[in-house]
Structure 1
Amino acid sequence: MIALHNNKAWTLSSYIITLVLIIPVVVMLVGGVSASTQLFVHLWQTVLPSYLENTLLLALGVLVLALFFGVCSAAIITQTNIVFRKQLRWLLLLPLAMPAYLVAYLYTDLFDYAGPVQRTLRAWFNWQSPNDYWFFDIRTLPGAAFMLALVLFPYIYMITRGAFEQQDHNLTRASRLLGCTAKQSFFKVSLPLARPAIAVSASLVLMETLADFATVQYFSVNTLTTAIYDTWLGYGDLGAANALASVLMLLVLFVVLAEQRSRAGLRHQSARPNAKQSLIQLSLSQQLMASLFCWALVILGFLLPITLLIMMAVQYSDMAQLSILLSTGINSLKVSVLAATIAVVIALLLGLYQRLHCDKYRQFPQLISSFGYAVPGTVLAMAMLSTLGPLDHWLNDSAEFLGFTTPGLLLSGTLFAIVFALVVRFSAIANGTIVSGIKQIPQSLDYAPATLGVSLKGSLTKVHLPMLMPAILVAWLLVFVEAMKELPAVLLLRPFNFETLSSQIYQLISDEMLEQGALGAILIVLFGLLPIVLLNKSKEQL
């Protein structure tokens, strides 16, 4: 790292911003640790152990299934001569665009007792009641695990695929020369080399699983996220909700630390990767099985759900729905644009501070500000309520004392709370993208402006920011899409009579009326496809 400047205002602003981003989480944790409410004790003695058990079982189920789907598909795409390999390489990323709660509702509607599949079976075989036949119940904990794994496995597929492609394939050739078969080379060389990448992707899947709310709520699987939501909205006990949120935070922290420890000192990329790889030649039957496996993931994870949504939209959409969609769509755009813009500005400030400042601890602001991504949306909402609620009361008391009109819930009851929560949660995405872009700038360009007498402002505006424009655009778009899809934080923090696309669709799903919001669901999926297209293009250019 190069340190050229010593701007005290830059240092102060960087640390203040970092402090503001982390304070809500600290307040929530302190509130949870100090909480001793009777409700929390009652929950702990009754239902909380089962909630915790469900959370752990769900996380384990999703992880096992996602690892199976992701690692196997990555190995098939990178190691074999499967038919339609180039097409499947990017098609397997598409399920990432589908929110899990949408997939859960669509498959429940498809396979439920009153759904088309069971109705067709009853008509074919003349079955009269459920006692005449057995059919799986999708609204269970294993069903929720399968739904989540179906849309989360692309994390593992994408990162593991990259690890396989960046390996030095001379090592594989060496193992073959030593007598290993193709299968043995994969399990003894390629797969162990990819272990750090698999650990990283597995931690992302676990964090997303622990953060999920809508899927488990719809499937009536009681986990810690649903317990937090019910404790706050059902019982109105913020202290008990904070305590539950603290338990969930400890689980997430354990996942992060375990992931970092599992890959400590390991590398998954070669210093000299060899792009020339001899693919494993599969027989016709093996190619058929491998192709069916990959196409099944694409169809079940994306093509079938989006087809069902399009059919619903064509059948049920009308002008009244379009007007409602316009209103909620504007709300979603407003929140997402604000969150993405603020997150990117903060990422630029902290990323360039880390690169160009002489502060000995200049890397800490950027690292600490990225912590929010590990915080589930429900937990983050509790943190915002614990922080902004008391501030609102203080502002109102101060205004009343001074004889001014009380401002009301100026912070916790407006868009400020939602945007603040989204910035905290998704700053890590902006940080990672901006830092990656900064690393692409030659270090000589940091020195050159200074040697020519150019000020810090001139260096930033004429050199660094123009070169960072592609990274800025990608970072903004990634945060924008994630903010559009965010549900738990929006549900808990949205003002009265304020709906976004995600919250409106969730309400319709809860009322078994997704058909009325099919257009909005399609819009969310289309927005979700944008970063996938960008990721695919960036990977193709490498």
Structure 2
Amino acid sequence: MEIKNLKSFIAPILGLLISLPILILIVYFLFSGSLNKEYLESSFLLDYTLNTSYLIVGTAIFVVIIGVITSYLSARFEYFGSKFFSICFVLPLAYPAYIFGYTYVGFFEFRGLLSQFFDDTSIKLDILNMPGAIFIFTIAMFPYVFILARVSFSMISKTIVELISLQKLNPVNAFFKVYLPLSYPAIFAGAILAIMETLSDYGTVLYFGVETFSVGIFKNWFGYGDLSGAINIAIVLLIFVFSILLVEHNVRKKFRFSSSTNSDEKASKINLKGKWNFLAFLISFLIASITLFIPTSVLIYWTFLDINTLDFTAFSYLFNTLKLNIISSSFIIFLAFFIVYFLRKFPTKFSSITHKLSMLGYSIPGAVVAVGLLLIANYIDKALGYMFFSGSFIILIYAYATRYFASSIGSVENGFSKINSSLDDASKIFCKNEKESIFKIYLPILKPYLLSGFLILYIDIAKELPATLILRPFNYDTLAIRVYELASNEMLYKTGFPSLILVCSTAIAVLLLNYKPKRKMK
């Protein structure tokens, strides 16, 4: 009985450890005297709030528009190139937003790729502003809406389509009155993911001169050496994030639609012909060109432009990236497995609360997580009398675990939900202990789901910039850091080669994730 009670504390303890950097930041702010009323009432903080608000609202609107259009075309219609474009609409996930930003600045700048293509040096466009930043985040984040909404649209049953036919609704009315409302939850969930990723960005907004909360944290910390100011901004950002999550929770309660009917048969895709086939192809081609073909062409062009002086040390940065990502992703996915396993076997109210706390990290920008972890590191290092935690791989992997735990656990929970409870009873009979149960039964069954979670983590961690920039060990650079440094030194064309390597490595993970084999469990 005592052993069972101890095991019931494993999931809560791990959940609290994951959320500790955020909790420490809040406690430190409340009890260390870091509250600065003058700073909180300053015009700087108002500017950060307004800029961040404009950015996420603009991004949310456009990611929904593009995400809905692409997902509806992909899920409901067959047309020339439809399967190819379905891949193209997912691949922008392989691009960090800041690389999109660098490529489009290079594309539109004086004597950029656009002006050279038309052989007219007068063609240029300044996108280093708020509208430009919204454009970049839109093309980088719309796949979140696309992926979730595509699943929702594709799950529309044949019965629903037959009812639409009986009501004699034309395609436009059918879309706005039936298909779109049924997919509201998925679309909204995708938009929230896009907003959270936009909030956590640092590289893009810094380069585009848009002063958001993330830029404010870095500016106060590294520019002015003002940790108190950075903490004040981080706390305001936390409040900002929690407000968004509260709105999301209330909206999600209002929109609970289901496309399930008495018929399990899903509606077949409509085969477009003639002008409709051409129109669908044209829309898809334009979107794919803006979100994938143009940025990739710019990177390839820059690589060839720099062909004689290519810096092959980029492969050493790739090795650093792979090593860090694989170790971090493996650690986090198995951490997620053990937490869900012990939650399933030994559920308590306390473990449910700590589990929800551990999920908050995904909605908290990397810069905020880094601030909280540095407070912990300073305390531990002072107690030990030497640098143990600061500037180590331990603190960086800890940051990734706090930041991205939620993005991996969904896949693990999905896998466990498909395991019949009778298997739990059988494991108690046939397995001598928890170790045998885990390694002989649960891990083999959940292998595909763990792989999916691993790939999601790899993609997210490879693109992470703020936390890596702050917490990485001395002189340990990843591809993301290298690209950021080159762009910061105004050497845009030099970013082509390392950016291509980074994008190719994450693109492989995106494709594997998108085309994982179908799984059946009874």
Structure 1 residue aligned with 2:155: 166
Letter in 2 for 1:480: Y
Q: C-alpha separation between the residues in 2 aligned to 1:231 and 1:477? A: 34
2:100 paired residue among 82, 99, 103: 103
- Residue 479 of structure 1 pairs with residue 476 of structure 2: no
Q: Is the 8 A contact 1:22 1:369 kept in 2?
A: yes
What are the within-5 Å matches in structure 2 for residues 122-271 of structure 1?
124=120, 136-264=125-253, 266-270=256-260
Structure 2 residue aligned with 1:529: 507
Q: 1:321 to 1:458 in 2, by over 3 A?
A: same
Indicate the larger mover: 25-34 or 163-172. 25-34
Q: 1:320 to 1:151 in 2, by over 3 A?
A: closer
1:333 paired residue among 310, 322, 339: 322
Structure 1 residue 300: deviation in Å?
Answer: 1.7
1:45 paired residue among 38, 42, 45: 42
2:295 paired residue among 305, 330, 335: 305
Letter in 2 for 1:106: T
Please report the TM-score for the alignment, with normalisation by the length of structure 2. Answer: 0.92
Q: Is the 8 A contact 2:455 2:510 kept in 1?
A: no
- Residue 314 of structure 1 pairs with residue 304 of structure 2: yes
Q: C-alpha separation between the residues in 2 aligned to 1:390 and 1:517? A: 38
Structure 1, residues 481-524: CA drift from partner, whole Å, max 9, x if none?
A: 32222101111112332211111110101112243343321222
What are the within-5 Å matches in structure 2 for residues 425-464 of structure 1?
425-452=403-430, 454-464=432-442
Structure 1, residues 195-245: CA drift from partner, whole Å, max 9, x if none?
A: 111111111011011111111111111111111110110111111111101
SS for the counterpart of 1:230 is helix
Q: 1:16 to 1:220 in 2, by over 3 A?
A: same
Q: C-alpha separation between the residues in 2 aligned to 1:120 and 1:26? A: 53
Letter in 1 for 2:402: V
- Residue 391 of structure 1 pairs with residue 383 of structure 2: no
1:416 paired residue among 370, 394, 398: 394
Q: Is the 8 A contact 1:325 1:520 kept in 2?
A: yes
Q: C-alpha separation between the residues in 2 aligned to 1:120 and 1:526? A: 25
Q: Is the 8 A contact 2:10 2:342 kept in 1?
A: no
Structure 2 residue aligned with 1:87: 84
Letter in 2 for 1:290: A
Q: C-alpha separation between the residues in 2 aligned to 1:271 and 1:421? A: 44
Structure 2 residue aligned with 1:296: 286
Q: C-alpha separation between the residues in 1 aligned to 2:303 and 2:136? A: 22
Q: C-alpha separation between the residues in 2 aligned to 1:137 and 1:23? A: 42
Q: Is the 8 A contact 1:214 1:506 kept in 2?
A: yes
Q: Is the 8 A contact 1:166 1:273 kept in 2?
A: no
Structure 1, residues 102-136: CA drift from partner, whole Å, max 9, x if none?
A: 11111101111242434666x54x86xxxxx8x54
Q: Is the 8 A contact 1:95 1:298 kept in 2?
A: no
Q: Is the 8 A contact 1:309 1:518 kept in 2?
A: yes
Structure 1 residue 101: deviation in Å?
Answer: 0.6
Structure 1 residue 162: deviation in Å?
Answer: 0.4
Unmatched segments (≥5 aa) in structure 1: 128-132, 397-406
Q: Is the 8 A contact 1:31 1:239 kept in 2?
A: no
Q: Is the 8 A contact 2:36 2:232 kept in 1?
A: no
Please report the TM-score for the alignment, with normalisation by the length of structure 1. Answer: 0.89
Structure 1 residue 281: deviation in Å?
Answer: 6.4
Structure 2 residue aligned with 1:287: 277
SS for the counterpart of 1:277 is coil
Q: C-alpha separation between the residues in 2 aligned to 1:360 and 1:120? A: 63
Indicate the larger mover: 493-502 or 80-89. 80-89
Q: C-alpha separation between the residues in 2 aligned to 1:517 and 1:119? A: 19
2:337 paired residue among 348, 357, 365: 348
Q: C-alpha separation between the residues in 2 aligned to 1:273 and 1:166? A: 11
Q: 1:7 to 1:96 in 2, by over 3 A?
A: same
Q: 1:395 to 1:271 in 2, by over 3 A?
A: farther
Q: 1:119 to 1:308 in 2, by over 3 A?
A: closer
Q: Is the 8 A contact 1:380 1:489 kept in 2?
A: yes
Structure 1 residue 541: deviation in Å?
Answer: 6.7
Q: 1:269 to 1:255 in 2, by over 3 A?
A: farther
Q: Is the 8 A contact 1:63 1:205 kept in 2?
A: yes
Q: C-alpha separation between the residues in 1 aligned to 2:242 and 2:262? A: 34
Q: C-alpha separation between the residues in 2 aligned to 1:312 and 1:449? A: 57
Structure 1 residue 33: deviation in Å?
Answer: 4.7
Q: Is the 8 A contact 1:164 1:190 kept in 2?
A: yes
Letter in 1 for 2:170: T
Q: C-alpha separation between the residues in 1 aligned to 2:50 and 2:105? A: 24
Indicate the larger mover: 453-462 or 339-348. 453-462
Structure 1, residues 231-272: CA drift from partner, whole Å, max 9, x if none?
A: 110111111111101111122222222222212261344265
Letter in 2 for 1:64: I
Q: 1:517 to 1:287 in 2, by over 3 A?
A: same
Q: C-alpha separation between the residues in 1 aligned to 2:154 and 2:248? A: 22
Q: 1:314 to 1:174 in 2, by over 3 A?
A: same
Q: C-alpha separation between the residues in 1 aligned to 2:261 and 2:421? A: 20
- Residue 72 of structure 1 pairs with residue 69 of structure 2: yes
Letter in 1 for 2:293: L
Structure 2 residue aligned with 1:382: 371
Q: 1:47 to 1:228 in 2, by over 3 A?
A: same
Structure 1, residues 422-451: CA drift from partner, whole Å, max 9, x if none?
A: 111111122111111222223221111323
Indicate the larger mover: 137-146 or 6-15. 6-15
Q: How many residues are aligned here?
A: 519
1:25 paired residue among 15, 22, 26: 22
Structure 1, residues 446-499: CA drift from partner, whole Å, max 9, x if none?
A: 111323464333222211111122222222232233222210111111233221
Q: Is the 8 A contact 1:238 1:386 kept in 2?
A: no
Letter in 1 for 2:74: I
Q: Is the 8 A contact 2:29 2:35 kept in 1?
A: no
Q: C-alpha separation between the residues in 1 aligned to 2:143 and 2:411? A: 19
Structure 1 residue 154: deviation in Å?
Answer: 0.8
Structure 2 residue aligned with 1:468: 446
Identity %: 28
Q: C-alpha separation between the residues in 2 aligned to 1:258 and 1:5? A: 42
Structure 1 residue aligned with 2:4: 7
